[in-house]
Structures are given as C-alpha cells and as structure tokens.
C-alpha cells in the first residue's frame, strides 16, 4: 500500500520504518530540510535501538523515502498519517497548529480519495477539527467531490523499545465509523495482526480518549507508588517488600509500580496536563489527575531534599557525581527528565555537578552548554572523582553492579543518594556506605 507520513519525529519515523519493512511503500514528509537530508544518509536524529538499520535498509530498498515536498506526499499515499508534534501551549493544552497545518496541506493538494490518520496524541475532538479543516479547504477549491475520512489511530510505543512496540503492538486502536476505512486499516496493519486480532474498532472520540486514559492510568500507578514510598519512609516500612506484595495480585500486577524520582519524558507530563486542561475547559474538575500531577512534581524534588538535609543545607562549593541524565534508560531524551530538576536545584544551591549518561551526553551539552557548574564526564568512573557524594537518577543497566570499593575510594564521603532503588540497603550499609533510597529505610 502507498503510505504517506507527515512528521519524522519518534512516532512518524518509527511508524514509517516498520511499515516499509513489511513491504508498504512509505514516503515521509518533514518541513525540516536538514533532517530530511540526514535521514536520506541514514543519520537518525534520535537514539532508538534497531531504528537506524531499519531506516537504512528500507531506504536503500526504495520502500522508505524522505522528502520536504508535501505536494508529492499528498499525491503518494492512499493513507496519510499525521504524526507531527503537539507541544503544550502556555496554559498546558495541546497546540494543534502543526496538525491543522498538515490537514490544510492535504486538503489543498488531494486529487483523489484519502484516509487521513491522526497518529499524534491529540485531545478529544481533534479528528473533528481536522475533518472540518480539510472540508473547508476542499470547499474553497470547489472539490467537494473528493471523499476522505479522518481516523484516530493513537500510538502506544515506548521510547527505548519503540521499534519492537510498533512491530508487536498489544492493541491497534482504530477510531472511525466508516466500514470502508476499517477495511483499509485492517489491510495496512495485517502484518502486525497475526497471532490474535489486536484491532479494536471504536468511535473517533473514544479512540482519542483511550490514548490519554492509558497514559494517565500509568502515571497514576507511578504517583500512587511514589506516595506509598513516602509513607513507607516515614513509617519505617520497605516499599520494595510492599511492591512485591501488591504486585502479586494479578489485578494490580508488577508493571509500572516502581517508585522513583517521578515520571518524565515527552508523554506523561504533557498528556496529564492536556487532559486536565480539557477537563477544566468543560468545567469538570479532574481531581485525581491533578493529584497525580502534583505528587509527581513533588517527587522530582525528593532527591534534592534528601541531599540538602544530609548536608544541613550547606551545598555551596560541594561537588556531586550524577549518574543518569535521560528520563529513563535506553534513550537520550531529557525532556522533563528528573535529572534536570535535580541539577538545577543543586546549581541554585551553589553545588557543582559531574555528570555521566551512556547516551544523553550530547543532549545535556545542547541543553546546558558551557555551564561552569556542570562537567560532562566520559565515563561513570570519572564522574566520581573528588565528588562529595554519588546521586543515581536513571536506572541504566551498567549502574546496577558497580565496583563499590572504587566508588568509596573516589568520593570524599561514602554516600549514595539512589533515586531508583538499584541496591540493597542492608548490603550498602555493610559495605560502609551511607545509603539513601526511595521508600526503604532498612
Ligand atoms: C509512555 C507510555 O508508556 C507509552 O505507552 C506511550 O505510547 C508513550 O508514553 C507516549 O504517549 O508516546 P515513554 O514516555 O516512552 O512511554 O516512557 P515510559 O517507559 O512509560 O516511562 C515514563 C516515565 O515513567 C519514566 O520517567 C519512567 O522512569 C517512569 N516510571 C515508569 C516510573 O517511575 N516507575 C515505573 O514503574 C515505570
């Protein structure tokens, strides 16, 4: 099938690559010249396991093309994905200007029937706005004879496992009430829908809300666990034991109940805010969502509070080793990362940071440039040198079993603030460390 994808961000690029891999002919359109040229050379702007080779191979095979030519894009695909960004407005609502601009472009240049697929995470009602926009432009052109449908088909990929998530989706949500569209969508996704039927068809608004409900539910689980961890610390209980104890109940399950330094990334914080905004706009007080968000904001400060308390608020002139800058492992993404809240608080308090991350060093450089309070170190070992304490913010695999004697020898004081519960508190004490974790006192 001929497929066009507008937007070569996380969602668009991964989607394009996996659709091309199964044999569809995909044209990816982006307004960024530079990005398109790089993609043609096989240079991927993000770190995502497996993506680079998929892009290179399919581009070489001619099944995956990159262009800035929107007109050619509209001409190419019977299905037209909209996968452009929806950055939050100042007030937290999702800004649809890029989505609507693509809708207008499609309306402007389509000469035959098209299926327009909203893949970006957009508020309930957005598909209707896309429909109205396309219709308006077609009317202006006097081309009401051209038919089209707008489908909501949200994406559920996770950064760090985006390729695998897209190739083996848990479910494929299709929001439309048009039977012909359902047939085309089934054909498009057939290669990913083999063992069991993963396609769930519903109305457009329910599909749009499903995306937000999924992310908000997961964020709720995390904030709930962070709240329990705070309680456990104060009550003298061990959140790790509690986690195992509740996870064993299949109604609760083990996924997404790890306490930590708060959720970050480009999705949870933004989507929570957007749904709260949607609720406010219809005069519905989304009490639970607001609590989830506020718990998360506080949680991002807990590491700093522990550090400040440990050093009696005397952080000026101190140096801290920070392991982990990305918002989670296997990505270089630092959007809304807890590491940023922590480092910025440390700097404000006059402390220096020596940071290491396996993938996010370039991103940190881009964000903070030549900041005299930040030294970006080439290895996790060099970050430790002459630091007053070690702070762990992201649970990268190679932080899990470090050489503790080496760490002790490098630090001026053997203290670790662990925001991800990587080690066993009892063992750390036995090794001679002062060890702070999340929700564990024993
Ligand atoms: C999230 C969802 O998991 C995807 O299903 C969704 O498609 C995506 O948003 C999106 O809307 O595009 P992602 O942001 O890549 O994916 O990352 P997650 O793996 O969900 O992690 C989010 C945050 O939660 C991270 O900061 C992570 O450290 C934190 N987290 C996760 C916890 O603190 N505890 C947990 O138990 C799990």
Instruction: Render the burial of 373-404: b for 16+ CB within 10 Å, e for the rest.
Output: ebbbbeebeebbeebbbbbbbbbbeebeebeb
Phi-psi region of 330 (alpha: psi -120 to 50; beta: other; left: phi over 0): left
Q: Are 212 and 173 in contact (CB under 8 A)?
A: no
Report the C-alpha gap between 71 and 230 in whole angstroms: 55
Q: How far is the CA of 158 from the centre of ligand 1 (A)?
A: 7
At a CB cut-off of 8 Å and minimum separation 6, what does 74 contact? 4, 80, 105, 106, 108, 109, 110, 114
Percent of the chain with pLDDT over 70: 100
Q: How many other CB atoms are there within 10 angstroms of residue 113's CB atom?
A: 12
> Which ligand 1 atom lies nearest to the CA of residue 263?
26
Report the C-alpha gap between 377 and 390 in whole angstroms: 14
Tens of pLDDT, residues 206-245? 999 999 999 999 999 999 999 999 999 999 999 999 999 9
**Ligand 1 environment, Cβ below 6 A:** 121, 155-159, 215, 218, 222, 256-258, 260, 263-265, 267-268, 327-328
Q: Is 303 helix (H, G, I), strand (E, B) or coil?
A: helix
Q: In Å, how far are 201, 224, 421 from 231, measured between CA atoms?
A: 42, 11, 16
User: What domains are defined for the chain?
Assistant: 2-201 (3.40.50.720), 217-436 (3.40.50.720)
Interface predicted TM-score (ipTM): 0.95
Active site residues: 267
Report the C-alpha gap between 344 and 361 in whole angstroms: 16
Mean pLDDT for 280-302 is 97
Report the C-alpha gap between 331 and 49 in whole angstroms: 9
Nearest CA residue ID for atom 25, ligand 1: 263
Nearest CA residue ID for atom 29, ligand 1: 263
Q: How far is the CA of 337 from the centre of ligand 1 (A)?
A: 11
Helix crossing, 287-310 with 338-348: angle to 10°?
A: 40
Quickly state the pLDDT bin for 442 (edges 50, 70, 90): low
pLDDT at 279 over 90: yes
Quickly state the pLDDT bin for 441 (edges 50, 70, 90): confident
Tens of pLDDT, residues 186-214? 999 999 998 899 999 999 999 999 999 99
> Which ligand 1 atom lies nearest to the CA of residue 160?
15
pLDDT at 167 over 90: yes
DSSP state of 93: P
Nearest CA residue ID for atom 12, ligand 1: 267
Helix (H), strand (E) at residue 3: strand 2-6
Q: How far is the CA of 260 from the centre of ligand 1 (A)?
A: 12
Tens of pLDDT, residues 383-420? 999 999 999 999 999 999 999 999 999 999 999 999 99
Nearest CA residue ID for atom 2, ligand 1: 158
Task: Choose which residue among 267, 324, 394, 439 to substitute to test ligand 1 binding: the one with the highest number of ligand atoms within 8 A of its C-beta.
Answer: 267
E-strand stretches of 84-210: 114-118, 148-152, 172-175, 199-202
Q: How far is the CA of 4 from the centre of ligand 1 (A)?
A: 28
Task: Choose which residue among 242, 260, 326 to substitute to test ligand 1 binding: the one with the highest number of ligand atoms within 8 A of its C-beta.
Answer: 260
Task: Choose which residue among 11, 215, 395 to substitute to test ligand 1 binding: the one with the highest number of ligand atoms within 8 A of its C-beta.
Answer: 215
pTM of model > 0.80: yes
Q: Is 344 helix (H, G, I), strand (E, B) or coil?
A: helix
Q: Are 420 and 402 in contact (CB under 8 A)?
A: no
> Which ligand 1 atom lies nearest to the CA of residue 215?
2
Percent of the chain with pLDDT over 90: 94
Quickly state the pLDDT bin for 92 (edges 50, 70, 90): confident
Q: How far is the CA of 263 from the centre of ligand 1 (A)?
A: 7
Lowest average pLDDT, out of 93-97, 114-118, 239-243, 374-378, goes to: 93-97
Instruction: Show the tokens assigned to 205.
Output: 């608004």
């Amino acid at each position: 099938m001929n497929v066009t994808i507008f937007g070569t961000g996380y969602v668009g690029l991964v989607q394009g690559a996996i659709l091309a891999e199964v044999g569809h002919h995909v044209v990816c359109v982006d307004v960024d010249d530079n990005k398109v040229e790089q993609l043609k050379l096989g240079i991927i702007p993000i770190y995502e396991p497996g993506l680079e080779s998929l892009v290179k191979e399919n581009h070489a095979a001619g099944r995956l093309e990159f262009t800035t030519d929107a007109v050619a894009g509209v001409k190419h695909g019977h299905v037209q994905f909209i996968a452009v960004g929806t950055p939050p407005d100042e007030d937290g609502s999702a800004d649809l200007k890029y989505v609507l601009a693509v809708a207008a472009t499609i309306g402007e240049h389509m000469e035959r029937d098209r299926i327009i697929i909203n893949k970006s995470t957009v508020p309930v009602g957005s598909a209707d706005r896309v429909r109205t926009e396309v219709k308006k432009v077609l009317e202006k052109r006097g081309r009401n004879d051209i038919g089209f449908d707008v489908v909501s088909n949200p994406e559920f990929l996770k950064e760090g496992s985006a390729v695998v998530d897209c190739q083996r989706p848990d479910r494929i949500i299709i929001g439309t009430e048009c039977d012909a569209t359902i047939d085309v969508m089934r054909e498009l996704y057939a290669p990913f829908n083999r063992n069991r039927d993963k396609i769930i068809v519903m109305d457009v608004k329910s599909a749009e809300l499903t995306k937000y409900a999924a992310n908000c539910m997961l964020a709720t689980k995390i904030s709930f666990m962070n709240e329990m961890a705070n309680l456990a610390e104060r009550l003298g209980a061990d959140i790790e034991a509690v986690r195992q104890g509740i996870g064993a109940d299949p109604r609760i399950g083990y996924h997404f109940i790890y306490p930590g330094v708060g959720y970050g990334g480009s999705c949870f914080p933004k989507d929570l805010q957007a749904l709260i905004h949607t609720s406010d706009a219809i005069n519905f007080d989304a009490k639970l969502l607001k609590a989830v968000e506020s718990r998360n904001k506080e949680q991002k400060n807990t590491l700093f509070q522990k550090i400040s308390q440990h050093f009696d608020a005397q952080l000026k002139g101190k140096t801290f080793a920070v392991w982990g800058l990305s918002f989670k492992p296997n990505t270089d993404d630092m959007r809304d990362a807890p590491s940023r809240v922590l480092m910025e608080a440390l700097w404000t308090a006059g402390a220096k940071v020596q940071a290491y991350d396996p993938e996010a060093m370039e991103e940190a450089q881009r964000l903070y440039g030549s900041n005299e309070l930040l030294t970006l170190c080439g290895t996790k070992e060099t970050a430790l040198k002459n630091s007053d304490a070690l702070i762990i913010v992201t649970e990268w695999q190679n932080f899990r079993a470090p050489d503790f004697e080496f760490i002790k020898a490098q630090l001026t004081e053997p203290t670790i603030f662990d925001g991800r519960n990587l080690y066993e508190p009892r063992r750390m004490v036995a090794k001679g460390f002062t060890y702070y974790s999340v929700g564990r006192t024993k």
